[in-house]
Structure 1
Amino acid sequence: MTDELRSNSLLMMYFDNNATTMLDRRIADHMHELNLRGVANSSSQHRPGRDALRILESAKDSILQTLDAPRGGMSAARVIITSGGTEANNLAVIGHLAARPGKCIVSCTEHPSVTEAARLACATVKSDLVLLPVDREGVCDLERLQNILDAEPGAYSLISVMLGNNETGVVQDLGKICQIARQYNVPVHSDIVQAVGKIPFSMSECGVSAVSFTAHKIHGPVGVGALVALPEFELEPLLVGGGQQLATRPGTEQVICASALAMSVALTAQARDQGKYNQLQLLRDQFESQLLERTPGVVIASAADRLPHTSNIAFPGADRQALQMALDLKGIACSTGSACSSGSSRPSPVLSAMGIEDSIAGGSLRFSFSVSTTQSEIEQSIPTIAATINKLCPSNSTLAGHGEHS
């Protein structure tokens, strides 16, 4: 790990960065400095309150700048600070459908904080939720999207499709989705939690109406996220009892965490511009190819455009929970899918929606890296992972070198 991201508490190879990342020391120092200085309530009218408001507004403007969202004037996007990605997704979906009731389309591989929010919102406003199918690579069927909208013009109020999948890393063509949606005057929301800062993205160029993200997936603190929404993206609040953030998200803003969120987005984008995520993709590809030389496996969605830090590999015939626990004992941290549903014995709903057979999906592991992941860690981990898999699945060792891509 790099010095900025080194953790003394994790004496193991940490390949579960899609669950959470280590706090960047520069961000920790920044938060510590603000805490020592003392930050007042940003709604207070005295000088300390005005100072806090300046920090908050500076953080919001930095976020807009990094995301290339409209800034200044009547067309400026709103940055609504939340407790994380789940709240931001709920506010976007439930809040928008409350303000503009209608049918909703979400992809069938969304995070539960979008899918379940959409189910609740549609039930509340007595409208239909439509799941947009994906192909075997996890890519949304855009012809189907066009047909759905064309069949009932004016019936739909929202489309929500994540930019980069948290389990497979599959990147959707959000610009094309927005282009189709504009033909029917339907706003598009996107969960960009796993993608923010890591791949090129511009709200202005893409045409998306609202995006959600969180700090702890990009080396910021847990407990803070944001919904960035254009003025025309109507919202009703989920909470009541305060006028903060234009009464859209009442409650005293956590100014220090908001500043840390902005810093984490900016530093991640800076690392991307320095080519660090291109280097990480090369490490990810090396990890996949060298591991499959030692044990048979299937790289999920290998033919799709994927986030540079995410690898989902299935080992047919294996039990993913047994593999994950065995690797944990060997000092390698990975996951069996979304951290929000870890421990579930069912095959991943995301992989099932892609048409991946249970016999394959049941042996899938997610390895997710960060810019702190080193070449040495990749090289050291591969023999251990392969040996563990081959021990738990003895038939695999005779098939080494026969790995494949989905």
Structure 2
Amino acid sequence: MKVPMLDLSEQYQSLKEEIFASLEEIMSGSRFILGDNVKKLEQDVADYSSAKYGVGVANGSDALHISLLGCGVKAGDEVIVPAFTFFATAGAVARAGAVPVFVDIDPKTYNIDPAKIEAAVTEKTKAIIPVHLYGQMADMEPIAEIAKKHSLAIIEDAAQAIGSKYKGKNVGELGTTATYSFFPTKNLGGYGDGGMIITNDDDIAETMRVIRVHGSKPKYYHHILGYNSRLDELQAGILNVKFPHLNTWSEARREKAAVYTELLNEKLGDLVVTPFVEEHNYHVFHQYTIQVPDRSGLQEFLKEKGIGSMIYYPKPLHLQPVFSELGYKEGDLPETEKAAEAVLSLPMFPELKREQQEYVIDQIAAYFSNHPAKVKKETSFA
């Protein structure tokens, strides 16, 4: 049996006619930049997120970068970020001329640990970027309290978490801004790059709109240095077709996650660490991520059996060569480093079949039953 990490073909076939109709309308209308489709998506995503404004940009990385600039982050400022995340989180800080200050994670949720944040605040700190990793929101209330105490902006990196909730609140409700990615693999993904920023702040929203068009307002008059970072009208048209299905897809992901957890607990017990979900959180499972012993051996075995898997993320940001000048070393963020050695994400998409999931779990169980020595040696993470 083949079980890919992600399969978008069934979703595409179910929406094919609507997508082609949307693209035909855009092509016939011949307005390709910041047209009605972008405006509709901006408003719909803002409403969905209980925000006043949506600002469509070229990708999720630019969404972070432009958010930082919109919040007034400048060269030499410091921004607190987790080290266990995709590179774009810290890369956007560096691109803004600021310094990423890395903080360890909560080992249960993989999100930034609020208890570690305040010790990282200095007079140069201007913002915090909590990442809602794998589809579960970070513990936002204590983060918001720290931000308020020190007059810091909060930029929520929700690239993997559109539709998630924290204590009944949506992404962005406790932040200054929040950012989404519409990369094809995301829960709401286009057929190319795309991103969006949401905010309730009138001035920040306007500043970000200006930044995305070369810093121009009115056209050809430039008072600030901006970028060419606009959400494409064609991508917006595709996303407008997909958007009404997002909640259904999120529920399907949650159902698949429940099946995985049930089967893993039944067949492997404490050998595998399944995802921890805070009771007050609505987790949308962009990824279903476990911790396992002998990860490399298991991953190679799964590949041989036709099963996809991914490691998100194998090398923490504080240990990446590009950030070596910041002076971090192994052991500085122990929970982050521990997770990076053990996490493995299993196939996850709304159309995943139960028989595929059963096959995945059967193969994981088969591997560990045949490698008891490696299991015993490498279960110190549990």
TM-score by length of 2: 0.74
Residue in 2 that maps onto 1:159: 128
* Identity percentage of aligned residues: 15
8 Å Cα contact 1:78-1:231 kept in structure 2: no
Residue in 1 that maps onto 2:291: 314
The question of 1:256 aligning with 2:227 is answered no
Cα drift, residue 189 of structure 1: 0.8
8 Å Cα contact 1:315-1:363 kept in structure 2: yes
SS of alignment partner, residue 37 of structure 2: helix
Q: How many residues align?
A: 355
The question of 1:132 aligning with 2:103 is answered yes
Counterpart Cα distance in 1 of 2:194 and 2:170:
22
Matched ranges for 1:48-197 at <5 A:
53-70=35-52, 77-82=53-58, 84-93=59-68, 96=71, 102-121=77-96, 124=97, 128-137=99-108, 138-149=110-121, 152=123, 155-163=124-132, 165-166=133-134, 171-197=137-163
Q: Which amino acid aligns with 1:182?
A: K
Matched ranges for 1:7-406 at <5 A:
12-16=2-6, 23-37=11-25, 38-42=27-31, 53-70=35-52, 77-82=53-58, 84-93=59-68, 96=71, 102-121=77-96, 124=97, 128-137=99-108, 138-149=110-121, 152=123, 155-163=124-132, 165-166=133-134, 171-199=137-165, 201-203=169-171, 205-216=173-184, 217-218=186-187, 220-221=189-190, 222-229=192-199, 230-233=201-204, 234-235=207-208, 237=211, 240=214, 250=228, 253-272=231-250, 275-293=251-269, 297-299=271-273, 302=276, 307=283, 309=285, 310-316=287-293, 318-320=294-296, 322-338=297-313, 353=333, 355=335, 362=341, 364-391=343-370, 393-395=371-373, 406=382
Cα drift, residue 101 of structure 1: 6.5
SS of alignment partner, residue 21 of structure 2: helix
Structure 1 residue ranges, 4+ long, deviating more than 6 angstroms after superposition: 241-247, 349-352, 402-405
SS of alignment partner, residue 13 of structure 1: coil
Cα drift, residue 162 of structure 1: 0.9
8 Å Cα contact 2:32-2:234 kept in structure 1: no
Residue in 1 that maps onto 2:325: none
Cα drift, residue 323 of structure 1: 2.9
Counterpart Cα distance in 2 of 1:139 and 1:350:
19
Residue in 1 that maps onto 2:324: none
Counterpart Cα distance in 1 of 2:55 and 2:64:
13
Cα drift, residue 55 of structure 1: 2.8
Counterpart Cα distance in 2 of 1:128 and 1:252:
26
Counterpart Cα distance in 2 of 1:63 and 1:304:
25
Q: Which amino acid aligns with 1:313?
A: I
Cα drift, residue 69 of structure 1: 0.9
Counterpart Cα distance in 2 of 1:242 and 1:266:
33
TM-score by length of 1: 0.70
Counterpart Cα distance in 2 of 1:13 and 1:94:
42
Deviation per CA, 1:119-142: give whole Å up to 9, x if none: 343xx3xx5432222243334332
Deviation per CA, 1:197-251: give whole Å up to 9, x if none: 2546525643442323225212532322222244343547377397799996536
Cα drift, residue 79 of structure 1: 1.5
Structure 1, unmatched stretches of 5+, are 1-10, 45-51, 71-76
Cα drift, residue 188 of structure 1: 0.9
Residue in 1 that maps onto 2:326: none
